[in-house]
Chains A and B, each alone.
Chain A
Amino acid sequence: MFRTQKCMKMRNYLVLAFILLGGLFFMNFKTTVSEPSGSDAVAYEVPADVQQLIDNSCYGCHNSDSKNLKGKKKLSFDKMADLKIFKQIGKLEAISDVLTEGDMPPKKFLQKMPDAKMSTEEIALMGNWASDLAKKMTHSIE
């Protein structure tokens, strides 16, 4: 009688230990499950040919040390990678827009700096990069 009671007690402890361990595994499992949605997200990347166009025609006004206050507040290429994905997508959409509209680089600036003028092909290259990447990034978090 005494022995069986002691056995039962031990069994209870064992069951309890299993439940606790199981709970721990489950909790671990849950945290690892919630992560991939973040890592599936397509990252902001600039191919070399586009980067060259940015450096030549945009970067002077659109970087975080720029003297062009309005330009840098709207868009700083050197800070793009640090932004939240929602912001990155929004800015890529704006880049694609200004290129289709022919708003950037500003016309006045091009009169002074004709070297910054982009050819139709170059505009298309940068515009497609921005709109394709924005679409890919959007789908990756949907």
Chain B
Amino acid sequence: MRSRIIWYIVIGLFVGIQLVPSGRPEVVDDNPNDLLSNHQLPEHTASLLRNACYDCHSNESIYPWYAYVAPVSWLVSRDVRLGRENLNLSDWNSFSKGEKLKYLDGMAVEVGDGQMPMIIYPLTHPEAKLSREDREAFVEWTETFAEQLFSK
């Protein structure tokens, strides 16, 4: 009897918290300034960005089912919101050259140092697990791409 009541409370709470809005950032499909749709990047770079960064750093986030279930949805929403605030690759072409260089340097440091993608992310997205070679090649790409911004 007692344990039954506890179960009812737990289930009730679980259903209840589903009503709390998670503030999940919207998905926008049409992004005229997007990095990947405007630039022909080397294939491994493009797929690294798409697989390991775009869920949090673009308007084209693909939300897994658990992104709709509280309390996990709150955490996912927070990561995507902060991720887009810090770097939104869907706005790439609207950045000045200086800003682009700032972001390229930031990406090189974060990926080179193993800070990005966030450590928990590859647990549910195995394709976002990066090897040392992946990281080194990505850092090299940031430098080549920075130079290309200035070559006509």
Contacts and interface: CB of A to CB of B under 8 A. Distances in A.
Interface of A: 73-74, 84, 86-87, 89-94, 97, 134-135, 138, 141-142
A86 B143 contact: yes
A94 B105 contact: yes
A83 B104 CA distance: 14
Contacts of B104: 86, 90
Given A73-B109, A74-B109, A86-B104, A93 B99 contact: yes
A65 to B, nearest CB: 17
Contacts of A87: 101, 105, 143, 146
Interface of B: 97-99, 101-106, 109, 113, 143, 146-147, 149-150
B95 to A, nearest CB: 10
Main secondary structure of the interface of B (DSSP, over half): helix
Nearest to A141: B150
Contacts, number: 47
Contacts of B149: 86
9 contacts: A73-B113, A87-B143, A89-B97, A90-B105, A90-B106, A91-B102, A135-B98, A141-B150, A142-B97
Given A138-B97, A142-B150, A93 B143 contact: no
Contacts of B106: 90, 94
Nearest to B100: A90
Contacts of A138: 97-98, 101
B34 to A, nearest CB: 21
Contacts of A90: 98, 101-106, 146
